[in-house]
Amino acid sequence: MAMETILTDPDHLADYTNRFFTEVYPVDEQQPTQEYRPQYDQVPAVPASATAGAPSANADVQWESFGQVMNQNPENAWRYLSQMSPEAFRSKLLFLDNA
């Protein structure tokens, strides 16, 4: 009953959320016994893509095709994304990073 009240009454939900993110709870202040130092030489290698040997299509063409799929059939767009090349994602992320 309490969960239903919280989820259906916006005032209860707002109060609960406010308390959840603003109340302070005491924690034990224990110092770590060992300092964490990552071993960068032991990081696993990045796996090769499934299309490593195949020539990749132009990233812009892939994103334009994805836009068409989103316009025509958005519920299946994830399938198109799963088949895109890593280079296409990398170019999009680098573009967004520079913006």
Which stretches of the chain drop beneath a pLDDT of 70?
A: 31-33, 36, 38-57, 94-99
pTM of the complete model: 0.36
pLDDT for res 47: 55
What's the distance, Cα to Cα, between the start and end of the chain in Å? 48
Residues 6+ apart with CB under 8 A from 31: none
Q: What pLDDT, in 10s, does the model give residues 68-84?
A: 888 888 888 888 888 88
Q: What range defines the domain where residue 86 resides?
A: 58-99
Residue 3 resides in a domain = no
Residue 20 resides in a domain = no
Residue 9 resides in a domain = no
pLDDT for res 53: 46
Q: How many CB atoms lie within 10 A of CB 85?
A: 19
pLDDT for res 55: 45
Residue 35 resides in a domain = no
pLDDT for res 74: 82
